[in-house]
Amino acid sequence: MAVDVQALFERRMSYPHPGARERLARLVGIDKQKETLTKILGLLVHPWGLKMWGEEHHPGAGLLIDTVLHRPPLVILAGDVGSGKTELAETIGDAVAMQEEIEIDLLPLSLSARGAGKVGEMTQLISAAFDHTIKEAALMRGKEGGNEGAVILLVDEADALAQSRETKEMSHEDVSGVNAFIRGIDRLANQRLPAAVVMCTNRYEQLDPAVRRRAAEILVFGRPDDEMRRMALAPKLEELGFDAADIEAIVQATGPRAEGQPGFTYSDLMQRLIPGIVLDAYPERPIKPDRAIAIAREMRPTPKFRDVANEA
């Protein structure tokens, strides 16, 4: 079967990119994840920076530096729906490119890599995706870790491609596909290429244990707490003349409403609540605090993702 490699990837992007920078800046409340992911990816795809840091601050600590640099080139972003995982994964390349002063190419793997169920198809498609990633990364490899560029392979909804092989419902084709995925990660690691894999999942526990073991870092994302919602909402509501009490009422309205119930996700706040407040007033009247508070109280947060496999 001939593989259309270009069809395996969607929304390809090169960094630095001002559009990605703006999107990344709009992700508030996850500054720790932003900082950690930028550093980890920088070390994985451009080890020259860490080597220079070691020579300056810890000369003679070669074993320590080598241990850090030999981690598998895989980062897993795990957490609830609407928590900013995918948006961060799609835009973090700009921060890495700016930090390391190199060009970064993002290759978002399409779910079409699962194939249509034909024997050997999933394995062939995943192998082709890693072949292409390795080819692109090899062209960017420089001398002694001073790479000219790097590649980030993004795997969204990763549990669809790398589900645990211990699951009873796994077909032989699915198992073979996961094996191909693991081999791909190992190939990137063994060849020490300027490339990294970023996986996003709402179902971390469903990922194959061998994939989880290979992660250099696992970043967990949750729903925003009061302070995080305040940080996200206040700058926008202050532009409307809302006072502290108005803003606090909306912050509380978007939090958990009973024990064990979820609060709003980041996407609930930015893609539903704020537009909802605007559209309620547009085009006849200005936005009023009491109406905005009422809308927040009437709106329901996105339900938590139900992991049916774990409930069975």
The tokens 């870790």 sit on which residue? 145
Looking at residue 304, its pLDDT comes to 81
Q: How far apart are CA 168 and CA 312, in angstroms?
A: 12
Looking at residue 195, its pLDDT comes to 95
Q: How far apart are CA 169 and CA 95, in angstroms?
A: 40
Higher pLDDT residue, 38 or 52? 38
- Interior/surface letters 237-271, b for 16+ CB within 10 angstroms, e for the rest: beebebeeebbbbbbbbbbeeeeeebbbbbbbbbe
Q: Helix crossing, 31-45 with 48-57: angle to 10°?
A: 100
Looking at residue 28, its pLDDT comes to 82
User: For 241-259, how does the pLDDT look when each residue is reduced to its tens digit (9 = 90+)?
Assistant: 999 999 999 999 999 988 8
Looking at residue 230, its pLDDT comes to 95
Q: How far apart are CA 144 and CA 304, in angstroms?
A: 46
Looking at residue 177, its pLDDT comes to 87
pLDDT over 90 for what percent of the chain?
68
151 pairs with which residues across the strands?
105, 195
Distances from the Cα of 289 to the Cαs of 143, 231, 294, 298, in angstroms? 59, 18, 9, 14
Higher pLDDT residue, 147 or 279? 279
Mean pLDDT score, 273-281: 97
Which has the closest alpha carbon to 178: 202, 158, 198?
158
Looking at residue 299, its pLDDT comes to 97
User: For 190-206, how does the pLDDT look when each residue is reduced to its tens digit (9 = 90+)?
Assistant: 998 999 999 999 989 99
Higher pLDDT residue, 163 or 308? 163
Q: Terminus-to-terminus CA distance in the chain, angstroms?
A: 37
Q: Transcribe 48-59 into DSSP letters.
A: HHHHHHHHHHST
Residue 59 preceded by cis peptide, ω within 30: no
With a cut of 70, say whether residue 115 has pLDDT above it.
no
Which pairs count as long-range contacts for 206-209, CB under 8 Å and 24+ apart, including other chains? Answer: 206/159, 206/163, 206/164, 206/167, 206/307, 206/309, 206/310, 207/76, 207/158, 207/159, 207/162, 207/163, 207/164, 208/162, 208/163, 208/164, 208/165, 208/166, 208/178, 208/182, 209/164, 209/166
Higher pLDDT residue, 142 or 43? 43
Q: Enter the pTM of the model.
A: 0.87
With a cut of 60, say whether residue 90 has pLDDT above it.
yes
Q: How far apart are CA 158 and CA 174, in angstroms?
A: 13
What are the start-end ranges of the E strands in 171-229? 195-201, 217-221
Q: Helix crossing, 244-253 with 289-298: angle to 10°?
A: 10
Mean pLDDT score, 150-177: 86
Looking at residue 1, its pLDDT comes to 59
User: Domains of the chain, with CATH numbers?
Assistant: 5-221 (3.40.50.300), 226-298 (no CATH)
User: For 279-312, how does the pLDDT look when each residue is reduced to its tens digit (9 = 90+)?
Assistant: 999 999 999 999 999 999 999 999 886 543 333 3
Looking at residue 132, its pLDDT comes to 94
- Interior/surface letters 144-183, b for 16+ CB within 10 angstroms, e for the rest: ebebebbbbbbbbebbbbbbbbeeeebeebbbbbbebbbe
Distances from the Cα of 281 to the Cαs of 186, 286, 292, in angstroms? 54, 6, 9
Looking at residue 2, its pLDDT comes to 67
Looking at residue 310, its pLDDT comes to 39
